[in-house]
Structure 1
Amino acid sequence: MTSETHTTLPTRAQIQRAPKVLLHDHLDGGLRPATVVDIARETGYDDLPETEPEALGVWFREAADSGSLERYLETFRHTCAVMQTRDALVRVSAECAEDLAADGVVYAEVRYAPEQHLEQGLTLDEVVEAVNEGFREGERRAREAGHRIRVGALLTAMRHAARALEIAELANKYRDNGVVGFDIAGAEAGFPPTRHLDAFEYLKRENNHFTIHAGEAFGLPSIWQALQWCGADRLGHGVRIIDDIKVAEDGTVELGRLAAYVRDKRVPLELCPSSNLQTGAAASYAEHPIGLLRKLRFRATVNTDNRLMSGTSMTDEFEHLVRTFEYTLDDMQWFTVNAMKSAFIPFDERLSMINDVVKPGYAELRSQWLFRQASADRAVTSDSSRYLG
């Protein structure tokens, strides 16, 4: 490895080819616009704001960027509305796995709330089984297209509802059949994670894994409760941990006790830069806390959150960071290994993914860059000798 490996920024093509690991992605936030239109037509849902796929995709992004919480939440009303049948859930899940694989994602944990897909008579079990079937079908199609991906599901309970224990039990029931963990999501303010302690206590008794949406909008109290009261394995977003970090004018950094605990305990942060810009957690990519958290070596990971609403992908997320912070392939590998270490699958399987897929993938990209660089240098030398000879 040469110094150029560390200083040359990867191209978008390299970023896309690089093996990536995704821990925070919402199934109902990643539909293809054309699929929303198709299913709406098939099921008779006639409330879409746009009926042409490209225009609908623009509407979703603009609604998410509008600054209006009402309009942002309306976007999920439309996606959930077309995810109420078995066939729709299978299709959406299969396309999710395909799209992620085509983007270079080799491992993903995709979350969804089963309780939001019962309007046309499906049971909770039928929802889970349909999504699992879709993920397996998407993995198969990805293999046929020459891509490799493994997708695990996270079952989410809505924090404003009262079904968390029921969904936690469902996650435990399917833990060896496609489901890798549990999550709670929804508005943080007014709905602390402590409202669902029975679910978290149950999961801990069952030695099961869970993450909690915390520290996205509400700040440090939400993070503290998620960790110290509930025992979360990971923090969904967790970006507001920056509120417990002080940077002096001379560059000296002081961590508060909660921030120090999060770093010392290697608590994974499921950071979602583009989504955070939309919700106001950061004003720009340059001001996003991920830059400082990377320097301080928190267990930071890069994620998409809602690919449709943010008009994003893992390649897009990393490209923003590469251009903003001048991250190299080494930095990308660091974030990716962090994510794989933090996945909710067994240790030996995580280690195998890191050693057999992630690291070799980045090594190959580096060697390709070195080969092209050496070829370019030889061409320059040849041209120079022609004129000098």
Structure 2
Amino acid sequence: MLAARTPVSLSLHHRIVAGGHRGRCVGGSQRRRGGAPCRQFTQALQSLWRHSPPIPPPAPPAAGAATSGEAEPSRQPPVLENAAFEEYYKVQQIVREEEWDAFMSVLRKPLPATFRINACLAWHLNFSRKELRKNQALESFHEFLKHESEVGNITRQEAVSMVPPLFLNVQPDHHILDMCAAPGSKTFQLLEMIHQSKELGLLPGALVIANDLNMRRCDLLIHNTKRMCTANLIVTNHGAENFPYCSLAKDCSGSYKDPCKLQKLEFDRILCDVPCSGDGTIRKGHDMWRKWNSGMGNQLHLLQVNIAMRGIALLKVGGRMVYSTCSLNPVENEAVIAELLRRSGNSVELLDVSSELPELVRRPGLSTWKVCVSISRYKIENLGFRVTMKFHTIGRM
């Protein structure tokens, strides 16, 4: 851990768990003027699955199988195996050798149902989504979840997705930027935080700007946050790595008519939940077992660095930024942090947040990792490039 020594604080927290939340790993992009970075983003996404194994053709129906007029046979369970995935992460040593079998066992288990009732409470139920839909005894609970989500009383959100906003230490007068916000569950959580800490009947002075590159995802973001009925939210549509500087009026009386009364908006808190390969979502995205390859993290590393560097540029002196992904890959996590610290020099520092959320199970981040390339679908060749850093990341969950 690094001791505090500079005026700008950068909290780089890694949400890297077995079964992370849904990431922006396959989202589209919008064409815009001066769009070289956007084209790079589009190309990275288009090539993300390039070396993935092809989908095998369906097997011909066996003799006596059900025809179109008969009941369909039960669906075959997905194959939860990928030799390249296991070989790659064994090399990276993201878990201890004696924990490997237990780790892989967890990855093959379905996620439980989780939802947030308000900003300070969360419920964790050991039922899979399939059980909620099919079990007759749980049918009423499933209907309850759908109805209460629609009216805004609860938010259906995976437990791991609730963690990054908690490390921001949001206050009711903060200016907050969610750089890659869609679909909006964490934005909604931030809005709950700023409203919860104010006296009843008084509106907070905080501002949350929720940004996303994709226009359709912005529509989804608006749909998911409008249940809050708040005036403290602005939704923007920009590439996060090129998010523009914003101006803020010093007072409300005619300030916008006088440019001299405008000041540059700097953010007290920034949530940098970047696009990623999403292999931490493997517990719910079974297709990831088939599509995963070792080059996925390499393709997004530069974009992740650029987005995080832009976040640092927008951060107020003394502010805090939380960096998170839903990837297990150190190339998308520790390697990004190492590059941020290298580029930023002494202008930012890592924060020790071990005393925050003490019940949270975590472990030290990696200080060394290997960069690999995919030679074939299932064979990984180590290029012999080993990165050694003299710092420790905040931790892995």
TM-score, length of structure 2 as denominator length? 0.31
For normalisation by structure 1, the TM-score amounts to 0.31
Whose helix fraction is larger, Structure 1's or Structure 2's? Answer: 1
